[in-house]
Amino acid sequence: MLAQTLPSVSTTFAVYVLAFAAAAVACFASVPRARTFDDPDVRVGLVSLLVLSGLWATAHVGFLIARQSSLAVPLYVAGLVAGFSTIGAWLYFCSAYSGRTLHRQPVYRRTAVGIFLAVLAVKFTNPIHGIYFAVEPSTTPFPHLGVHHLVGHWVAMGLAYALATVGIFMLVEQFTQVGADTTPLAILVGITGLPLVLDIVGYLHPGLIDMTYEPLGVAVFAVGVLFIFYDQFQATRIAHETDEPVIVLDDDDRVRDYNVSARQHLPEIADRVVIGEPIAEALPELAAAIGADDDICRIDRDGETRYYRVSVGPFTAGSRHLGRLLTITDVTDRERYRMELERQNERLDRFASVVSHDLRNPLNVAQGRVDLALETGDDEHLEAAANALDRMEELIADVLTLARQGQPIGETEPVRIATVCEEAWRVIDAGAATLEVDADATIDADADRLQQLLENLFRNAIEHGGEDVTITVGPLADSPGFYVADDGPGIPPEKREEVFEYGYTSDPEGTGFGLAIVSEIAEAHGWTVRAVEADSGGARFEIAGVRRPE
């Protein structure tokens, strides 16, 4: 019977010693990896946690080997000191990792030191008051100095776990804020907390030694953070450091993670199913901007166009390359302003062309005719000069209209198309022309500019279709918008884009700005306009991209 018991005792002893020795080795061996964290405070906190946990586990190994000698109690107390010290390192790490400054504030530091010294005082004076632990030799499950934890120990343990929970909440909040997967954190925290169960079982059941088993849990946490979920923790910390959208890619350009801001700007990745997918499939617009000459990405969502600048940088930890980091900056307002400036510059160039060319011709005619009238006294020259001046007046009026109508639209209002058609029809000289309105929709528009657009389309139809032309206004069948069609001769296919250019006209008496004004008004609203053939063979102008009031 004795021969069967001795191997069992030695085996159990070896398991205990090897378990805590392995925990110590794991903690100390993880220190070099912990030093690769870029943030110095995170690095200090994690390295301190590992070193103190390693010392805690080492003290336990010494306590077990000392068995019932006089060294057992000092080694156990040393372990208790190192163990309670880990709480300070843990909170330091959690505060720094989550981007807080609690670990640097003097009031919190002084409070932490005060609590630490008070607990140490209780531990060291245990021989006097005897409320922390009691010892007696024990042979179960192998010869050792049995430690019976008393009320002081459990109060200190409760305080330690309460403080540790504060740190856990810091980490959980950070993972949640950046939208990271909290599963790795939950696994590590769950495993780290399992030694508490062993503490309680050891207190209640003689089959386990009544001692603290937390060094085993801390070792698991260290190995998990630094070797299994290291990339996840690094990505989460980096994503948390910026309010801008951030997407983390691996070396194969697959999505590894992203923060909450990215999820808000890019709803396609709101579902974490995209984790592991190539960026080219998850976000093709974004992927196209990576490495392109123009790093501005245009994304159309729900009828709105937004612009993002995509910055690509390495995702590293120390000297280790982990992938790529995409930082996405919303530059919509800036891009809209830039495009508006470009548009205004183009319009200024066109106006300069009008002034230098279209106005110069009638001005030269008028000047020449006036000179001839002065030389010859012939009033016919004055009549020709007057006609040239009238022509200039028309051009100036149209240029001014063009300048006004091309300005950006401020606020819009709900407008009935039928009502604006009636107002526009009353303003123009319609003659024998007929207007048929089959569109009774309400749209968001600037009523005055919409009326100007319709007036110009009506005048264009009458000028080219004849005085008895029939003009029809109706809704588009395949997209939000409306059309204006006539039964006139129509527009040749090769001319349908040119008709919207400045100065283009087939009428010698026209200024060539009527349809250019239509295009400017449509563009200012964010609409598109195109010329096609009507069912009658005449001209049909389709205005698309129109919004309905919500």
Q: For residue range 463-512, what is the model confidence (pLDDT) as tens digits? A: 888 888 999 999 998 888 999 999 998 888 988 888 887 655 655 555 56
Distance CA 59, CA 211 (A): 12
pLDDT score at 5: 42
314: helix, coil or strand? strand
Residues 6 or more apart from 292 whose CB is under 8 A from it? Answer: none
pLDDT score at 540: 94
Tokens found for residue 165: 């929970």
298: helix, coil or strand? strand
**Mean pLDDT estimate for the chain:** 79
Cis peptide before 141 (omega within 30 of 0): yes
Residue written as tokens 């060539």? 512
Q: What are phi and psi of 531, to 5 degrees?
A: -105, 130
Residue written as tokens 């007036």? 455
Strands 246-249 and 255-258: antiparallel
- Over the stretch 53-82, which tens digit does the pLDDT of each residue have? 899 999 999 999 998 888 999 998 999 899
- Over the stretch 404-433, which tens digit does the pLDDT of each residue have? 555 566 677 899 999 999 988 987 888 889
Higher-pLDDT residue of 163, 174? 163
Q: What are phi and psi of 138, to 5 degrees?
A: -140, 150
pLDDT score at 397: 66
Q: pLDDT at residue 161 above 90?
A: no
- Are the C-beta atoms of residues 455 and 421 closer than 8 Å to each other? no
Closest CA to 232 of 258, 213, 252: 258
What sign results for the dihedral spanned by CA atoms 104, 106, 108, 113?
positive
Distance CA 412, CA 461 (A): 27
Distance CA 232, CA 243 (A): 18
- Over the stretch 185-241, which tens digit does the pLDDT of each residue have? 777 777 777 777 776 776 676 667 777 788 888 777 767 766 655 556 666 655 555
Closest CA to 97 of 86, 87, 85, 89: 89
Q: pLDDT at residue 3 above 50?
A: no
Taking every pair of C-alpha atoms in the chain, what is the biggest distance, in angstroms?
147
160: helix, coil or strand? helix
pLDDT score at 378: 76
- Are the C-beta atoms of residues 23 and 215 closer than 8 Å to each other? yes
Please name the amino acid found at residue 272: R
